Amino acid sequence: MPSLQSLRRKITSVKNTQKITKAMKMVAAAKLKRAQDRILSARPYAHKMREILANLSRRVNRSAHPLLQKRTGNKIEILVVTSDRGLCGGFNTNIVRKAVETLREHEGHGHKVAVSLVGRKSRDFFRRRNWALRQQWTEVFDKLSFEHALDIGQDLTEHFVKGTFDELYVIYNEFKSAIQQRVIVERLFPIEALETDGTAAATLGGSYEYEPDEEELLEALLPKHFQIQAYRILLESSAAEQGARMAAMDGATRNAGELIKKVTLHYNKTRQTAITKELMDIVGGAEALK
Amino acid sequence: MAGKLLLEVITPEHLLLSKQVDEVIAPGTDGEFGVLPGHAAFLTTLKIGELQYKIGDTWSYMAVLWGYAEVNPTKVTILAEIAEKAENINVERAAQKVAEAEQRLQTGGLPSDLKEAQISLEKARLRKKIAERTRR
């Protein structure tokens, strides 16, 4: 049986842990609020942008701009977006699992795969694996700004044009609600053309007219599109991360509470037994003196 | 009347406007253009300027600073870097900004600074103009 002292120590230690998890939950909740506001306000713009691009790529000649081309090559790149910090439940594990699954699938089709990473957690995982790592960005989530998205967007567009990869998939957590995240696999390159049936195409009219000219417009619009999408993905992931952490820490706080209860009960029982035993000893001793 | 246009104005910060309107006039890079329902589809970049839209007989105004516009027969989408509704612009502040920018232009400096000042002057003048327009 554990000694009273060790039980006391155990209780104190769990209580301290509980304090930490509680504090982390509070912090996550505060950060979540901010991250949530940011993603919710950034979404309409990004979605509209994608809509316009999807619409556009249906109408224009794909050879009009290098960023629009659709190559038949088999070089696939996966951009894995995880967090920098842990302690957020299944947040990173889900992403990494999905990433591995996707990688295997493409390998099965005979594609050449490479990985790019955002977040320290995915780096920790892929560093020890055999897939080719092309690029990594870490420590972006602490002070997430458009600059990071700019950086990522530029890198990706550059390498797509150069032919480093023919298709790029992004795997990230989408922020569904404060307690729900969804793992999303999204194809960023090449741009997905809008699927329309005949009637929709008719109402949308034929080809676009452009002002100023087509080339200039695409040159302005396309790089911007990828930056905006990168920004949205980072924001999604950052909001989802805080949500996941809050839920995980809430669970941990509750578990610690239960543990404290159990150990305290055990402690009290042990103490009671010790007292009873001592009393018996005293009574026994007094009897013997008579 | 061939029906209405859905006008949506979106900035990176939020969805500013989503309304059925009768007519839109927007500041394209190659000049202002007007859109009525049934307009041919086109795509353009926007410069600093005034976006006007008509619902019924009343015109409303908005400042847009750069961006893109997509026009479809039934829909106009404005993706602006910055957009402000006229009623949200503070006239005094806009006037003050105009003065500030003008002064900066006069004092001179590096070419890049001057260009920046020119742009902020343009922005400020636009804000002032739009804000004053709704005041009247």
Q: Give catalytic status of residue A73 as yes or no.
A: no
Q: Which residues of chain A lie closer than 8 angstroms to B30, CB-CB?
A: 211-212
Segment A200-223, tens digit of pLDDT: 444 455 567 776 777 778 888 888
Banded pLDDT at A194 (limits 50, 70, 90): low
Question: How does the average pLDDT of chain B come out, rounded?
Answer: 81
The per-residue pLDDT for B2 is 57
State residue A1's pLDDT score: 63
> Which pLDDT band holds residue A195 (cuts at 50, 70, 90)?
low
**Sole residue written with tokens 């694996």:** A129
Cα-based distances in Å from A265 to A7, A254, B106: 10, 17, 80
How many beta carbons lie within 10 A of that of residue A137, not counting itself? Answer: 20
Lowest mean pLDDT among A222-236, B79-93, B103-117: B103-117
Contacts B77 to A, Cβ<8 Å: 48, 51-52
The pLDDT of A103-110, averaged and rounded, is: 91
For residue B9, the distance in angstroms to the closest alpha carbon of chain A comes to 9
Instruction: Give which of A38, A41, A43, A48 to mutate to test B binding, by max B Cβ within 10 Å.
Output: A48
Report, as an integer, the average pLDDT of B73-95.
Answer: 81
| Contact by Cβ (8 Å): A118, A83 | no
Annotated active-site residue in A88, A114, A118, A239: A88
A147-158 pLDDT, tens per residue? 889 899 999 999
Q: Which residues of B touch A52 (CB under 8 A)?
A: 43, 68, 70, 77, 79
User: Which domains can be identified in chain B, with CATH numbers?
Assistant: 5-87 (2.60.15.10), 89-135 (1.20.5)
The A-side interface with B (CB below 8 A) comprises: 41-42, 44-45, 48-49, 51-52, 55-56, 203-212, 216-217, 220-221, 228
Tell me, what's the pLDDT at B136?
53
Instruction: List the domains of chain A with CATH numbers.
Output: 4-21+248-289 (1.10.287.80), 36-247 (3.40.1380.10)
pLDDT for the residue numbered A202:
43
Answer yes or no: are the C-beta atoms of A170 and A188 closer than 8 Å. Answer: yes
User: Do the chains contact at A45 and B30, CB–CB below 8 Å?
Assistant: no
B66 shares contact with chain A (CB less than 8 Å): no
CB-CB under 8 Å, B33 with A211: yes
For residues B28 and A28, the model is more confident at A28
The beta-carbon neighbor of A52 closest among B13, B30, B77 is B77
Residue entry with tokens 């990688």? A103
- CA-to-CA separations, B23 to A235, B4, B51, in angstroms, rounded: 35, 8, 11
The pLDDT-based confidence of B38 (bands split at 50, 70, 90) is: confident
The mean pLDDT of chain A is 87
Percent of chain B beyond pLDDT 70? Answer: 94
Distance between CA atoms of residues A64 and A80, nearest Å: 30
For residue A205, what is the nearest residue in chain B, using CA coordinates?
B41
Verify whether the Cβ–Cβ distance B79 to A52 is below 8 Å: yes
**Residues with Cβ < 8 Å from A149, sequence gap 6 or more?**
A227, A228, A230, A231, A234
pLDDT at A263: 94
